[in-house]
Amino acid sequence: MSKNYKSILSLLVIVGVLTALPANAQMPGKIVKAVTSAVEKAAARAQITSQADLAKSVFRVLPTGGTSTHALSGFVFKTTYQGKEEIFGAIAAHTLPPELFSLHPSEKFTARISIDGREVDIPATVVQASSPHMLDVALVKFNPADEKLLIPLTLAANQPEVGMPLRSAGFVSKKLTSLKHIHKQNSLVSLRISLDNPRAERPGMCGGPIFNPAGEVVGVITGDEFVEGRPDIGFATHAMYLRTLVEAYHNNGKATFPLILGEQKILDLNVDEYITSALVSDKEHNPLFHRSLMHKFPYNSITEKLPQASYISFWIDREYWNGHALLYVDRPDNFVFYDWKGRKITKQHRDY
């Protein structure tokens, strides 16, 4: 009997016992805690039973030709689209292989996994990507024959609660590494996670998965923030946006996600759009926040100004996947003016 089968069977037995209990049955706290822990551990074992299994799920990204000056990470996951299960890979968009930005781009690269302690290189192809400035994730496909060598991870259905212990996996100095984290904060696009490890232990983790205690993927590592005198904070794009990329892959690049601030939906952005400039002003149109955004969208900085805000303006550009490379489109006249107090868009120009 396989380890996976035993783990799944154990999980079903536990669930069956819980289901059979009377509705008003009282269980001591220690027993409840033990059962919960057993369920979580069984669920994790049913998916990834060992480091050897993890090495078939998390891969190292190599440029075409099989060499790399430093480690980059990615992972394999499964999802369902229109009733059919599919297998994809995921990497961080800002770590796309250099060939994708050259004069002669190639969407192909090499993914290196480990099977029985032996490194195996398999061809991989980027099939969809989002802007590094917003979602910062890219979708990867493998040859059907090579998919049999891989163990796809499961995407979580729900966002993790703040305070939940998480762990990550990725390549540091070309070695598969796992780190522990605490979930600090949710934003629309990303998780904020604790980073208690030295910076030397983290380069190359971008593109790797973030797991919840059940072994499900809740995010894709996309970067960190280091400020002298403050705890390091890591960023991971929510795993749910991988499903958005899958939709875009099947729909000629079209799939949207909502831009939400303070529980108000401002507008829908396409998967390849991002905010290039933002202006938050008060009722007298005095600026409270005004910045051209060189990196990722600063949800925290804008959210802090919302109690005094009356108007919000956004300018929107695109970085779209043309099948071979990620191309930048400057759209200086694409904007949205939003009446924060009135909860409506008062003026906009969108050419996509």
Task: Give tens-digit pLDDT for 76-105.
Answer: 999 999 999 999 999 998 877 655 554 445
**Do 184 and 108 share a structural domain?**
yes
Spatial distance between the Cα atoms of 56 and 321, rounded to a whole number of angstroms? 27
Is the pLDDT higher at 98 or at 249?
A: 249
Spatial distance between the Cα atoms of 117 and 124, rounded to a whole number of angstroms? 21
Spatial distance between the Cα atoms of 89 and 242, rounded to a whole number of angstroms? 10
Q: pLDDT tens across 282-307, in order? A: 999 999 999 887 777 777 788 889 99
Pick from 21-25, 95-99, 135-139 the range whose average pLDDT is largest.
135-139
**Do 230 and 110 share a structural domain?**
yes
Contact 64, 106 (CB under 8 A): yes
Domains in the chain, number: 3
**Do 243 and 167 share a structural domain?**
yes
**Do 263 and 207 share a structural domain?**
no
Averaged pLDDT, 230-236: 70
Main-chain dihedrals φ then ψ at residue 57, nearest 5 degrees: -110, -35
Cα angle value 125/63/176 (rounded, 5°)? 95
Structural domain range at position 32: 3-47
Which residue type occupies 33? K
**Do 139 and 93 share a structural domain?**
yes
DSSP state for residue 296 in the 8-state scheme = S
**Do 153 and 277 share a structural domain?**
no
Is the pLDDT higher at 187 or at 306?
A: 306
Q: Indicate the pTM of the whole model.
A: 0.79
Over 50: is that where the pLDDT of 59 sits? Answer: yes
Flag the least confident range among 184-193, 296-305, 307-316: 184-193
**Do 245 and 123 share a structural domain?**
yes
Domain final position from 204, 223, 251: 251
Q: What is the model's pLDDT at position 232?
A: 67
Domain final position from 185, 217, 251: 251
Q: What is the model's pLDDT at position 308?
A: 93
Contact 183, 168 (CB under 8 A): no
Spatial distance between the Cα atoms of 336 and 338, rounded to a whole number of angstroms? 6
Q: Which of 252, 193, 253, 248 is nearest to 220 (CA)?
A: 193
**Do 189 and 307 share a structural domain?**
no
**Do 164 and 300 share a structural domain?**
no
Task: Indicate which CATH number applies to the domain containing 119.
Answer: 2.40.10.120
Runs of H (alpha helix) within the chain: 3-20, 29-47, 51-54, 144-147, 240-250, 299-303
**Do 85 and 61 share a structural domain?**
yes
**Do 128 and 275 share a structural domain?**
no
Contact 168, 153 (CB under 8 A): no
- Mean pLDDT across the chain, nearest whole number? 78
Q: What is the model's pLDDT at position 68?
A: 46
**Do 123 and 37 share a structural domain?**
no
